[in-house]
A and B are shown apart, each in its own frame.
Chain A
Amino acid sequence: DAGVIQSPRHEVTEMGQEVTLRCKPISGHDYLFWYRQTMMRGLELLIYFNNNVPIDDSGMPEDRFSAKMPNASFSTLKIQPSEPRDSAVYFCASSRGGTNEKLFFGSGTQLSVL
């Protein structure tokens, strides 16, 4: 299996631009998680899906952030408009059966908003 695939690996954009991060989970996994990692705040859960349905988005910072999972093999995290404080590494993770089971993380997207 190819693992969790995220794209792009690096994204540099200017403040105010729309940013879309993409994730392909491992086939057969029914949970998908989006995390953000910063030096100041560590690893934060933004949102997670179960069977393509958003279950908990309480970690999404504000309305500028949105996430979708149109099917079992694809999810997006969108920031519009982006701000410098959104600069972070964004990880997607998937699992079969929730967080009691092993989470498989992608390699992350390093986002820099100038």
Chain B
Amino acid sequence: AQSVTQLGSHVSVSEGALVLLRCNYSSSVPPYLFWYVQYPNQGLQLLLKYTTGATLVKGINGFEAEFKKSETSFHLTKPSAHMSDAAEYFCAVRGAAGNKLTFGGGTRVLVKP
């Protein structure tokens, strides 16, 4: 079985500041890891994913995430926050079998001018 823990249900950052969203996972097999973003009244959109290979993954809108097996983490970062980054972000893990994505509880990002 797999699980995802996102630290902090709400994060507030100033425009131009670093965005750091934390995600830790548990998986009995090598995981596939994902970050999705949800804007108000919309469905989720894929930001980036890690399956195999390079552990630093770059996504859309300037976001990136690093897979650290030793820490069972997949934290999401963006060097400089923009007002348009205000949204809810979900980390998800997929085990090797089946097609079940297990989502974390989400982190809502507020960007202050």
Q: Using a CB–CB distance below 8 Å, which chain A residues touch chain B?
A: 4, 31, 33, 42-43, 45, 48, 50, 55-56, 91, 93, 98-100, 102-108
Contact = CB atoms under 8 A, between A and B. Distances in A.
Interface in B94-111: 94, 98-106
A50 B100 CA distance: 12
Contact of B43 (A55, A91, A100): A91
Interface centre among A48, A98, A99, A104 (most CB of B within 10 A): A99
Interface of B: 32, 36, 41-46, 49, 51, 90, 94, 98-106
A98 B99 contact: yes
B13 to A, nearest CB: 22
A100 B98 CA distance: 10
Contacts of B44: 43, 91, 93, 103, 105
A100 B51 contact: yes
Nearest to A95: B99
Residue from B36, B45, B51, B99 with most neighbouring chain A CB atoms (10 Å): B99
Contacts, number: 54
Nearest to A40: B105
B103 A43 contact: yes
A102 B100 contact: no
Contacts of B90: 43
B51 A107 contact: no
A31 B106 CA distance: 24
A93 B36 CA distance: 13
A106 B43 contact: yes
Nearest to A55: B99
19 contacts: A33-B99, A42-B103, A42-B105, A43-B106, A48-B99, A48-B100, A55-B98, A55-B99, A56-B98, A56-B100, A91-B44, A99-B94, A99-B99, A99-B100, A100-B32, A100-B49, A100-B51, A100-B94, A103-B36
